[in-house]
Amino acid sequence: MAAYEPKNILITGAAGFIASHVANRLVRNYPHYKIVVLDKLDYCSNLKNLNPSRPSANFKFVKGDIASADLVNYLLITESIDTIMHFAAQTHVDNSFGNSFEFTKNNIYGTHVLLEACKVTGQIRRFIHVSTDEVYGETDEDAVVGNHEASQLLPTNPYSATKAGAEMLVMAYGRSYGLPVITTRGNNVYGPNQFPEKLIPKFILLAMRGLPLPIHGDGSNVRSYLYCEDVAEAFEVVLHKGEVGHVYNIGTVKERRVIDVAKDICKLFGLDTEKVIRFVENRPFNDQRYFLDDQKLKRLGWAERTPWEEGLKKTIEWYTTNPDYWGDVTGALLPHPRMLMTPGVDERHNWTEEFKSLASSPVEASTTAPASSAQNSTDAPQKPGYKFLIYGRTGWIGGLLGKICDKQGIPYEYGKGRLEERSQLLEDIRTLKPTHVFNAAGVTGRPNVDWCETHKQDTIRTNVVGTLNLADVCREQGLLMINYATGCIFEYDAKHPEGSGIGFKEEDTPNFTGSFYSKTKAMVEELLKDYDNVCTLRVRMPISSDLSNPRNFITKIARYDKVVNIPNSMTILDELLPISIEMAKRDCRGIWNFTNPGVVSHNEILEMYKKYINPDFKWTNFTLEEQAKVIVAPRSNNEMDASKLKAEFPELLSIKDSLIKYVFEPNRKVPAN
């Protein structure tokens, strides 16, 4: 069979670890190929990985998400793409136990977008889909022959399940539409540039810092490791010699126990394994062994070239030369980075405290492996080790958070320090030792935001300086901060007209500067983007079932003589505040529109009030122009796109359904018909 010769290749996820080595190799070895790389630059990707290729005339980088159909179609057409090498994926198993929807979105939906674009454009001559050996599931400990390409797929964790699901789509598009697909399934890969949530770079960085190496379980789990350049060569072979419709394992029969990997790294650093190896609790569903049959790829001419000892030395040399390449990776070095337990599993350790103990006494680390889960099966289950630190005790949201924690049995304390005083915040954290921090403190004005117009310095001090202070202290201490922000930083515009159903998304730039309060909120939200330990929740026009609370939006408008009638996104606190606690447990980060899906107008709410609470209630409307005569600062009116939150929490009710369930039915005074 003649070798395949591509012209214009699109490589997805190319700023990540494996794909960057493949991209750099192809750019270097084939100057007549045009290499277009697409990457959204997620936490584990780095544009520096592509530095060897960036000066080359045949290289082009595009920042973007494979989930954007418009972008993918545009690139295929404008760059005349004839070949796709699809690496982009969420890959860290621990993360998949806590945020599996994100894995479905990236690994399955993103792949589907690519396949559909290939079908529509009709110009793709090769689609190479990069999968994993984990789709086969666990290999029997006594198996002599590894999983071959026709073996049954039996994934055991959310990550591998999404990769198997993506494979099914690839196979279906190959059979249904004749798409020229090839799939690869690979062993573990190691080498320079890898984000240190993975085993080998994590152990190297910990060893460099003089910290213990945490081993999951007893360290007997077996894995096979290939050096990154050997893997890049394997993809070069598959690209040119792989047969359409086939699957190729990229692996090695040389296996190593995790404990042996740790010992080899200790040896190269001159460390005493008895002092630096620390056994910690195993992760959920940690497969004992993955073992591949690698003969099919070898028949195409590929072979592993780099011995384990040589590859490990090269990798250690790179990390010692580039210790700050990834910046602050403290969170990734935890025994279970961002780990969240799956439903039905109750036990969870406080790994923030675990890391602190690892850091404080490295030479005293335990070298005794913990008992297996089977041995501990009779032990009473322990509740997760949470402790929340809440700021904003006298505020509405802060007070409600305490009540929810009481109801859920979560230990919590209210912060005593003022947000503007860094030393006081540090004292709170050191004294209380929280696992999460919630910031519900802020200046909104009394009785409303008009107060902020005449108290600008006070507003800045709390809403901007104080919030940044707390975020910075939490980042130093390795803590996630849930920050209750506002969605009152947008107003309807030409792209998001009233009544269109087109809401502002998390990535949209704030466009409302009518009030000084909103200005400070938009300002601090932009600055918080540089803090990866913050989860910003945009609350809008909050409503609760407590209709006696003067801060409740319904209570406010029910007391007004006149109200405007404009549809808005709103936040039902009875439903969404418990979700915010779950978001902390899931380690959600970044910006989230924290509203119920859809919009509801003032009149629609008051009609419900009349139907459920007071059938004699009456009100009149006035225009925005009339409203402007009785307020100091303009008010924000908008629709927020809550699809991101809905995807994470599919049970989330629409605004009108939530109003009925959580607010009006519990307060019903008018008998139902």
Active site residue 133: yes
634 belongs to a structural domain: no
Nearest-angstrom CA–CA distance, 295 and 575: 55
Amino acid at 290: Y
- Could you tell me if 322 and 400 lie in one domain? no
Closest CA to 386 of 359, 414, 400, 405: 405
531 belongs to a structural domain: yes
pLDDT at 378 (0 to 100): 35
Average pLDDT of adjacent 10-residue blocks, the chain of 673 residues = 92 96 97 96 91 96 93 96 94 63 86 96 96 86 76 85 94 96 95 93 94 89 93 97 96 90 95 90 72 90 95 96 90 67 38 50 38 36 72 88 93 91 92 94 70 83 90 94 94 93 95 86 93 96 89 86 89 96 95 96 94 92 70 78 95 96 94 82
- Could you tell me if 501 and 583 lie in one domain? yes
Domain boundary among 289, 306, 333: 333
Active site residue 317: no
153 belongs to a structural domain: yes
559 belongs to a structural domain: no
- Alpha-carbon separation of residue 22 from 29, 163, 233, 609 (angstroms): 11, 20, 8, 62
- Could you tell me if 324 and 392 lie in one domain? no
Determine if the pTM surpasses 0.95.
no
Tokens 């390409």 sit at which residue?
149
- Could you tell me if 167 and 267 lie in one domain? yes
- Could you tell me if 136 and 240 lie in one domain? yes
3-state secondary structure 439-498: ECCCCCCCCCCHHHHCCHHHHHHHHHHHHHHHHHHHHHCCCEEEEEEECCCCCCCCCCCC
pLDDT at 628 (0 to 100): 63
- Could you tell me if 399 and 486 lie in one domain? yes
Nearest-angstrom CA–CA distance, 466 and 391: 11
3-state secondary structure (DSSP) of residue 435: coil
286 belongs to a structural domain: yes
- Could you tell me if 318 and 411 lie in one domain? no
Amino acid at 335: P
pLDDT at 627 (0 to 100): 66
- Could you tell me if 39 and 180 lie in one domain? yes
111 belongs to a structural domain: yes
- Taking each helix axis from N to C terminus, what angle separates 308-321 and 258-269, rounded to the nearest 10 degrees? 60
Closest CA to 182 of 131, 106, 116, 256: 131
Nearest-angstrom CA–CA distance, 149 and 151: 6
Token output for 609: 């009030």
3-state secondary structure (DSSP) of residue 93: helix
Nearest-angstrom CA–CA distance, 592 and 589: 8
- Alpha-carbon separation of residue 510 from 471, 495, 527, 652 (angstroms): 21, 13, 13, 25
pLDDT at 352 (0 to 100): 47
Closest CA to 576 of 550, 597, 553, 595: 595
Catalytic member of 39, 94, 134, 287: 134
- Taking each helix axis from N to C terminus, what angle separates 516-528 and 467-476, rounded to the nearest 10 degrees? 20
Catalytic member of 39, 94, 102, 159: 159
Listed as own residue / partner, the contacts of 558-564 with beta carbons closer than 8 Å and 24 or more positions apart are 558/606, 558/609, 558/617, 560/619, 561/619, 561/620, 562/619, 562/620, 562/621, 562/622, 562/626, 563/602, 563/603, 563/606, 563/619, 563/620, 563/621, 563/622, 564/602, 564/621, 564/622, 564/623, 564/624, 564/627
For position 406, which CATH number holds? 3.40.50.720
Closest CA to 265 of 318, 205, 355: 205
pLDDT at 393 (0 to 100): 85
CA torsion angle 567 570 572 577 (round to 10): 170
Nearest-angstrom CA–CA distance, 568 and 486: 13
Catalytic member of 65, 133, 294, 525: 133
- Could you tell me if 426 and 312 lie in one domain? no
475 belongs to a structural domain: yes
Residue-range definition of the domain harbouring residue 56? 8-333
pLDDT at 349 (0 to 100): 41
Active site residue 159: yes
Residue 147 per-residue DSSP state? B
- Could you tell me if 146 and 238 lie in one domain? yes
Nearest-angstrom CA–CA distance, 272 and 263: 9
Nearest-angstrom CA–CA distance, 275 and 522: 50
pLDDT at 368 (0 to 100): 37
Pinpoint the alpha helices (H) of 508-665.
516-528, 553-559, 573-585, 602-612, 624-628, 643-648, 655-658
379 belongs to a structural domain: no
Q: How many domains does the chain have?
A: 2
Nearest-angstrom CA–CA distance, 443 and 448: 10
- Compute the C-alpha angle 101/106/110, nearest 5°: 130
- Could you tell me if 418 and 519 lie in one domain? yes
Closest CA to 127 of 179, 166, 64, 79: 179
- Could you tell me if 32 and 131 lie in one domain? yes
